[in-house]
Structure 1
Amino acid sequence: MADSSATEASTRRRRAAGRSASLLPVNGQPEAAFLGSAPANVRGGRGQAKRDRSLETARSDCHRTQESLLSSASGYNNYRGILNWCVVMLVLSNARLFLENLLRYGILVDPIQVISLFLHDPYSWPALCLVIVENMFILVAVYTERQLSKGSFSERVGFLIHCTNMAIMITFPAAVVLLVPSITPVGGASALSLYTILFLKLYSYKDVNRWCRELSTIKVKKLARSLSYIYYFIFAPTLCYELNFPRSPKIRMAFLIRRLFEMLFFTQLLVALTQQWMVPIIQSSMKPLEDMDLSRMTERLLRLAVPNHLLWLMFFYWFFHSSMNFTAELLRFGDRQFYNDWWNSETVTYFWQNWNIPVHKWCLRHFYKPLLRKGFSKIVSQSAVFLLSAFFHEYLLSVPLRMFRLWAFMGMMAQLPLAWLVGRFLRGNYGNAAVWISLIIGQPFAVLMYVHDYYVLHYRQEAE
């Protein structure tokens, strides 16, 4: 009897639980829809009071003080979807331009043609011979420093030898490029670029050894470094000399192969896009430039801006990330900060300080700070840095092209007033947009000017 009574009680409890469950929200309908039919003993109690209060709160707190997401005061910064949209639109628009280019011009990519940019005669390699001569300047600098460390040369004599060596290092290759007609513009620019890098490296080599002698903290025998160490510095991806460079523990073969693959891939891509995209636009721009048709010149400039900027971005990645990391990994060079977040630049000055870290470190260490120590103001020292940069930009363009138009020089010096205007009147995103516009528009303008002048100076004279 007791067992049967317990069984009946258990059955009644399960039925009561089932009836209570039937009062819960069904199919997502609000609980209030069932309150009218619920028994008083189910709606009552502390739990039901809490539910009633939560329902009243939900009905009354529909609005609160808040900003729209696109307002700067909202603090919202997750624009990943908009960024993805921009990427998709960029890909689609460029795909249309590329398809239009193929339909109009056909396939213009010719890898064999690139060889002619470096060589007129396959049996003559004047630019390569010019590069080999660089070793003479390296040996002179090393010999001079060794004599200075031994006391065989006075500081004045060593200074004069270094100055003479570096002056010849700048003038000699320029004279060869100008006087030897078999050197092509691309070959001459490549040779002069290597001479410019060597000039900056040997200048740093001279300064650091002089500083060590002045401080008298390094023994004489430590300053007379081996020739292999000097050549390590010559090939290392840095312009600033040190007695001891940071070294990585080992060579990572997987990392090295990835960088090598990127170098090969982007080299082919740069050549293909230049031939297929850039060259037709430049050729079609000659007539508007000769006629001084302002509207068509502007249209050609804007057409050239997109492929030119895209190629510049690819070159940046190819050189500063792939190539320099490949060289650093091969030499186990530890300092891999070749660039900083220049794409976030809100001022022109920040861009020039962060897009090319090796050059920035050299300018800061061997040019800007020495001028400050000599009593020059920051404005004068900064202007001197831009003046030096403008000289080398013009040197690397005018000499290989064998014409002097000063477009690169004026473009670099124009960065000074531009930096003042952007820093004075623009802030945040507006400053960043101004930096991007100067990069996208300024470079193709200089390209058009040099190409037009080169065409007028050479090809039109040949046609006449």
Structure 2
Amino acid sequence: MALRQTGDLSRVYPASRPMTAGIGSSAPRDPGNNCHKTQESLLSSASGYKNYRGVLNWCVVMLVLSNARLFLENLLRYGVLVDPIQVVSLFLNDPYSWPAACLVIVSNVFILVALYTERQLSKGSLSELVGLLVHCINMAVLLTFPAAVVLLVPSVTSVGGLFVLGTYTIVLLKLYSYKDVNFWCRELSTMKAKKLSRSLSCKSHIRERKVCYPGNLTLRDMYYFIFAPTLCYELNFPRSPKIRMSFLLRRLFEMVRKYLIIFFSFCQWMIPIIQSSMKPLEVNLNLSFQVPNHLLWLMFFYWFFHSSLNFTAELLRFGDRQFYKDWWNSESVTYFWQNWNIPVHKWCLRHFYKPLLRRGFSKMFSQSAVFFLSAFFHEYLVSVPLRMFRLWAFMGMMAQLPLAWFVGRFLRGNYGNAAVWISIIIGQPFAVLMYVHDYYVIHYRQEGE
């Protein structure tokens, strides 16, 4: 009866699993159940581990802490140097004269000339040769007219001149692409093509009526392209379904915040360093200038290529948001220049590099020609607003060719990436200080003497 009440003890404690003594003891495990296996350490490259978010946060914290001391020393030594009036003075010498804004408005004349020329070409009122001549004259004046005004009108400030020339350069590249694409459309029409090639039109994210040539030659289409965050024209741009207000407001908040940070950092941090470097025939090349210059460059990149261009794209429902790629992982100089500014890279590839290859030029010559064009515009955007020609920006860009060859030939992987970062951190501040020194010698040395 007792066994019936308590049950069979052999069922509770079978012979194959005997009880062991001791508190918390358990049955012995299978000796084949090992706790080790063949595996690599996380920091080994063979492990395939890539989540270094904690290390990145550590770098950010160390960067903030290391610069906090410099920030406090700067405040104690110079006080608060930020003056909102300086923002206005950078763009205007005379509050009643706005030459930079007037020049930007005048740029509409060149846009309308390009549109009118394309309309006449579509109707057959102009021959291709005459149309090409009109486009060339229009773009030549577009390039030289603002430069002449900036050089000859004293009321145009250096920052205002940079803004004007940057705007005109963007319009120039856009009109060149506009001319090319419409010419390709006329060629396809001549060949009686039923559909536009994939390079001239792309599928939209939503169902919208496709625009075909010459239905694209309208004011609305032209000015959409002028304001769109791209330099390459298409008849049918990819469009997003709607404007996301939360995304738009976040980008707007980022734009304002980053602008205030950049302005405060420049006034409080950069100006004292620049003033201390303004000595005749003496350039202060040290990390006190290179580090803030590099940080401002990084903040400007985020402000322009991420916040500003995404804000514009969202406002216009422009679908292609790839304005940059992972240039920070560049293991070669060529990869950096191909991925840090995607709109310019696409334009160079589509309207300059590939046409040179189709005409029989070698890859080396075509690549050198692209760097030469980029060097010209870099010098154009710096020397003309400063009203002095020293070719530091031009030589800095052309020096990228031998640097790209050296890094691609002798350095790989992390060494190549380190070389790219060193060229960015050291090379750009060097060119900036050269311009600072020359500007001081030209404008302030004689006054001091």
TM, length-normalised to structure 1: 0.86
Aligned with residue 245 of structure 2, among 238, 248, 253: 253
Matches within 5 A, 1:48-67: 51=30, 53=31
Report the CA distance between 1:319 and its aligned residue. Answer: 0.6
Shift of 1:88: 2.0
**Which residue, 281, 295, 298 being the options, matches 1:290?**
281
CA distance in 1, matches of 2:236, 2:42: 52
Amino acid at match of 2:217: R
- Structure 2 counterpart of 1:98, from 50, 71, 79: 71
Partner letter of residue 298 of structure 1?
Answer: L
Task: Find out whether 1:381 has 2:340 as its counterpart.
Answer: no
Partner of 1:173: 146
Bigger mean CA offset, 233-242 vs 222-231: 222-231
Of 208, 212, 233, which aligns to 2:185?
212
* 2:93 matched residue in structure 1: 120
Letter in 2 for 1:322: S
Q: What residue in structure 2 maps to residue 202 of structure 1?
A: 175
Unaligned runs of 5+ in 1: 32-46
Contact 2:158 2:386 in 1 (8 A): yes
Residue 153 (str. 1) matches residue 126 (str. 2): yes
Matched, 1:232 2:224: yes
Task: Give the stretch that moved more between structures: 199-208 or 87-96.
Answer: 87-96
What are the superposed Cα offsets for residues 79-124 of structure 1, whole Å, 9 maximum, x if unpaired?
A: 4443333222112101122112112211111122111000001010
Q: Which residue does 1:39 correspond to in 2?
A: none
Deviations 1:274-322 (A, max 9, x none): 00111111111223x6346xxxx333xx211111111111111111111
When Rg is computed on C-alpha atoms for both structures, the one with the higher figure is: 1
The corresponding residue for 1:418 is 403
Range moving further from structure 2, 69-78 or 277-286: 69-78
What corresponds to 1:333 in structure 2? 318
Q: Percent identity?
A: 74
Q: Distance in 2 between matches of 1:227 and 1:74?
A: 57
Structure 1 residue 226: Cα displacement: 1.1
Deviation string 1:171-210 (CA, Å, 9 cap, x unpaired) is 1000000000000000001000000000000000111111
Q: Distance in 2 between matches of 1:13 and 1:424?
A: 77
Q: Secondary structure at the match of 1:147?
A: helix
Q: Greater helix share, 1 or 2?
A: 1
Would the alpha carbon gap of residues 221 and 209 (structure 1) be closer, same or farther in structure 2, given more than 3 Å must change? Answer: closer
Aligned to 1:41: none
Q: CA RMSD, aligned part only? A: 2.6
Note the C-alpha offset of 1:68: 5.4
SS of the residue corresponding to residue 444 of structure 2 reads: helix
Tell me what 1:43 maps to. Answer: none
Distance 1:434 1:143 in 2: 49
Q: Name the SS for the 1:245 alignment partner.
A: coil
> Are the equivalent residues in 1 in contact too, given 2:285–2:430 (CA < 8 A)?
no
2:159 corresponds to which residue? 186
- 1:108 counterpart letter in structure 2: L
Question: Which segment is superposed worse, 426-435 or 82-91?
Answer: 82-91
CA distance in 2, matches of 1:69, 1:15: 46
Q: Which amino acid in the other structure matches residue 286 of structure 1?
A: M
- Aligned residue type for 2:343: P
Is contact 1:149–1:223 with CA below 8 Å preserved after alignment?
no
Query: Does 2:314 match 1:314?
Result: no
Deviations 1:52-77 (A, max 9, x none): x459x78xx8xx87765544445554
| Aligned mate of 2:338, from 348, 353, 361 | 353
Q: Which runs of 5+ in 2 are unaligned?
A: 197-210
Kindly state the Cα deviation for residue 442 of structure 1 after the two structures are TM-superposed: 1.0
Moved more, 234-243 or 92-101: 92-101
CA distance in 1, matches of 2:168, 2:273: 32
Shift in alpha-carbon separation, 1:133–1:5, aligned structure 2, 3 A = closer
How far, CA to CA, are the matches of 2:41 and 2:316 in structure 1? 53
The residue that corresponds to 2:201 in the other structure is none
Counterparts in 2 of 1:179 and 1:69: CA distance versus 1, 3 Å: same
Matched, 1:139 2:122: no
Pick from 222, 239, 243 the counterpart of residue 235 of structure 2: 243
Partner of residue 388, structure 2: 403
- Classify 1:359/1:23 alpha carbon distance in 2 versus 1 (closer, same or farther; 3 Å): same
